[in-house]
Amino acid sequence: MGLLRRFGLLFGIRRRTLSSARSMILAGDLRGVFRRSVRRLAGLRRAPRIDHEEWRRRYVDLADADRARILDRPSNVTFTVTIAQGDGANATRTSLADQLHPNWSIEPGADHWSIHLAAGVVLHEAALWSLAIAIDADPGLRLVYTDHDHRAAGGRHTDPAFLPDWNPELFAGLGRISALVALHSEVNSVGTENLEPTAVAHLPHLLASVPGPPPTHGPADVARSAPTPAGVPARVSILIPTRDQGSLLETCLRSIRERSTHRDVELVVVDHETTEPLARRIIDGLADDPNAVVIEHRGPFNFAAMMNRAAEAATGDVLVLLNNDTEVVTPDWLQSMAAHLERPDVGVVGALLLFTDGTIQHAGVHPGLGGLMGHGHKHRPGDDPGHLGRLRVAHRVAAVTGACLAIRTDLWHRLGGLDEDLAVAYNDIDLCLKVRAEGRAVILEPRAVLHHHESVSRGYDDDPIRRARLQTEVDRMRDRWGDRLDDDPAYSPNLTLIEPGFMSADPPRTTPPWRT
């Protein structure tokens, strides 16, 4: 066994990383190997775990001062509460009797707000009061929901469900919102799927506890084999930037042609000064393909400029930005992505990307996770259900990577494409933020799966010039978007921003209303 392999086994370094290190050694870049090793060892830090009972004691349980503040701030909002029959219904009724907000009734009344509780759900004593003051603060609300956790047989609290903000695709796909949801009577006529986001409030506080363990999320192939929605556009233009790396490009193009079930596809390849013989033969051979266009790009690498030129030449109704180091896995990837774009409230769709070893590389971007922009669920198994089962269904995210990103052509041109001053990094994030600023959703579609042999053709970021460029682009994003850069519709403030994420934050980035 070689020295590098032993080193990797000792410190848990992946084989792909070792391959990169070996390449750097062969190139004589020993300093680069050292810098990468130091960063890797530093990255082994993990978010400290906190016992959930202790977390509740610190951030959920009421002190006498909290109760006094609640009683000093009464609300006239009245709720009609129904309780499903079954084991534990008495515990639910007891938790209602203990509420610090007295305006509720089991019997239907003239009030406009209703709550349905499953048998055994136990409410936090400030649950109804928290709902009521949120409604008082915003009379336009029509649905309010909270977080919840679970109670084991002995009464111990476990498995918090720290939910995202309003994410209708996610909740519809999972078939549930939360254990505690207050609905206005108007929702019966319009339906939750038609609610405007401004009519929904998420209270990111554990205000209910559900008996038993959390639900399982079913077999790995449930969501990814679901029927594709109708309405896929006739023509899709796939924009691929490339330089050398002929074997990667060949794999990418072959997988598109041989595995994609959507046939009306145009390939727009942007050649950045390719000289490698194999890559040159592949690119030159596209001249014989009536559904392919080749554009030349000269000068420094600028992903945004290359994609903008490709989009000008494209003829499809939908543009798909695609790295040359990707490989199609699911044949209906184009249909499942493009179908979302038929909805006027959706602007961008991204795919689930896997490393070569089958683990997750990209499942949506979360601002602040491990840095400015982190990828959720990174290095989990490719068939992992994801946090609370979200990788089973399409759902809203803050942004998706430009390594595989779909957008309608008309929207792309109206937004001006990618910002060419963001030459390499964050141009895809910037596009997603522009889409969301228009009130459109950015969707991650986990049924669209591709391998992403990431960073093979990009090189390393140890170069001081590259690091300076990256910092310039970070500063530009901060100046442009300010606090909106940190807004994440898919990641709870109760979850840590230390990688790998999806564990309880200590402390959380939110304060319950009784402590305000």
CA dist 77 and 217 (Å) reads: 36
What are the b/e assignments for 3-13, b being 16+ CB within 10 Å? ebeeebeeeeb
How sure is the predictor about 259, in pLDDT bands with cuts at 50, 70 and 90?
A: very high
Q: What confidence tens digit (pLDDT) does each residue in 104-117 have?
A: 999 877 779 999 99
Nearest to 356 by CA among 258, 432, 426, 251: 251
- Minimum mean pLDDT among 19-33, 261-275, 441-455, 502-516: which range? 19-33
Does an H or E element contain 93, and which? helix 89-97
How do strand 265-271 and strand 236-242 relate by DSSP bridges? parallel
Could you tell me if 398 and 442 are in contact, meaning their C-beta atoms sit under 8 angstroms apart? yes
Residue 197's pLDDT is: 92
- What band does 86 get if pLDDT is binned at 50, 70 and 90? very high
Comparing 7-16, 127-136, 296-305, 421-430, the range with the smallest average pLDDT is: 7-16
* Position 15 pLDDT exceeds 50: no
Q: Is 249 exposed, middle or buried (0-12, 13-18, 19+ CB in 10 A)?
A: buried
pTM: 0.87
Least confident of 47-56, 146-155, 214-223, 306-315: 214-223
Q: Nearest CA to 470 among 423, 437, 401, 509?
A: 423
- Three-state secondary structure along 435-450? HHHCCCEEEEEEEEEE
| Delimiting residues of CATH 3.90.550.10 domain(s) in the chain | 64-211, 236-486
Question: Which architecture does CATH list for 64-211?
Answer: Alpha-Beta Complex (3.90)
Q: What is the mean pLDDT of residues 275-289?
A: 96
Q: What pLDDT is attached to residue 462?
A: 58
Distance CA 357, CA 355 (A): 5
Per-residue tokens: 241: 């930037």
- Cβ atoms 115, 134 nearer than 8 A: no
pLDDT by residue (tens digit) across 28-72?
444 444 444 444 444 445 567 899 999 999 999 999 999 999 999
Pairing of β 441-452 and β 395-396: antiparallel
CATH hierarchy code of domain 236-486 = 3.90.550.10
Q: Report how far residue 446's alpha carbon sits from residue 351's, in angstroms, rounded to the nearest whole number.
A: 6
- Give dist(CA 398, CA 412) in Å, integer: 18
Q: Which residues make beta-bridge pairs with 441?
A: 346
- pLDDT at residue 468, rounded to an integer: 82
Is residue 434 predicted with pLDDT exceeding 50?
A: yes
Rounded distance, CA 76 to CA 104, Å? 10
User: Band of the pLDDT at 470, cuts 50, 70, 90?
Assistant: confident
Query: Which positions ≥6 away from 382 have C-beta within 8 Å?
Result: 352, 354, 358, 359, 360, 449
